[in-house]
Amino acid sequence: MDLQSIRRDYNIGHLTESDVPNTPFQLFESWLNNAVECGLNSDPTAMTVATVDSNSHPSQRIVLLKGFDESGLRFFTNKQSHKGKDIALNPKVSCHFAWLALERQVHFRGNAEPLSEQENDEYFYSRPFESQVAALISNQSQPIGSRDELVRYYQEQLEQYQGKQVPRPQHWGGYRIVPSEVEFWQGGEHRLHDRFIYRLESADNWSVQRLQP
Phi, psi of 60 (to 5 degrees): -130, 150
Q: What is the pLDDT of residues 179-196, one digit of tens each?
A: 999 999 999 999 999 999
**What is the domain range of residue 139?**
126-167
Using pLDDT thresholds of 50, 70 and 90, give the confidence band for residue 41.
low
Say whether 140 sits in a helix, a strand or coil.
coil
Q: Are residues 79 and 137 in the same domain?
A: no
Give the per-residue pLDDT at 139. Answer: 87
Give the per-residue pLDDT at 109. Answer: 98
Which of these ranges, 6-10, 50-54, 67-71, 173-177, has the smallest mean pLDDT?
6-10
Q: Decide if 194 is inside a domain.
A: yes
Which residues, 6 or more positions from 69, have their beta carbon under 8 angstroms from its beta carbon? 25
Annotate 23-80 with three-state secondary structure: CHHHHHHHHHHHHHHCCCCCCCCEEEEEEECCCCCEEEEEEECCEEECCEEEEEEECC
Give the per-residue pLDDT at 39. Answer: 78
Phi, psi of 203 (to 5 degrees): -55, 120
Q: Are residues 34 and 136 in the same domain?
A: no
From CA 168, how far away is CA 124, in angstroms rounded?
Answer: 7
Q: Decide if 26 is inside a domain.
A: yes
Give the per-residue pLDDT at 117. Answer: 97
152 a catalytic residue: no
Q: Are residues 76 and 136 in the same domain?
A: no
Q: Are residues 94 and 185 in the same domain?
A: yes
Catalytic hit among 8, 168, 191, 199: 191
Q: What is the pTM of this model?
A: 0.92
Write down how long the chain is: 213
Q: What is the pLDDT of residues 15-30, one digit of tens each?
A: 999 999 999 999 999 9
Q: What is the pLDDT of residues 127-167, one digit of tens each?
A: 999 999 999 999 888 889 999 999 999 999 999 999 999 99
- Is the pLDDT reported for residue 177 higher than 70? yes
Q: Are residues 32 and 48 in the same domain?
A: yes
Q: Decide if 175 is inside a domain.
A: yes
Q: Decide if 206 is inside a domain.
A: yes
Q: Are residues 160 and 131 in the same domain?
A: yes
Give the per-residue pLDDT at 40. Answer: 66
Using pLDDT thresholds of 50, 70 and 90, give the confidence band for residue 208.
very high
Q: Are residues 41 and 67 in the same domain?
A: yes
Q: Decide if 1 is inside a domain.
A: no
Alpha-helix residue ranges (DSSP H) falling in 59-146? 82-89, 117-124, 129-137
Q: Are residues 93 and 48 in the same domain?
A: yes
Give me the number of domains the chain comprises.
2
Give the per-residue pLDDT at 49. Answer: 98
Q: Are residues 197 and 103 in the same domain?
A: yes
Burial letters 92-114, b for 16+ CB under 10 A, else e? ebbbbbbbeebbbbbbbbbbbeb
- Is the pLDDT reported for residue 204 higher than 70? yes
Q: Decide if 2 is inside a domain.
A: no
Q: What type of residue is 29? A: E
Using CB atoms within 10 A of its CB, is residue 49 exposed (0-12), middle (13-18) or buried (19+)? buried
Q: Are residues 24 and 59 in the same domain?
A: yes
CATH number at residue 188: 2.30.110.10
Q: What is the pLDDT of residues 72-125, one digit of tens each?
A: 999 999 999 999 999 999 999 999 999 999 999 999 999 999 999 999 999 999
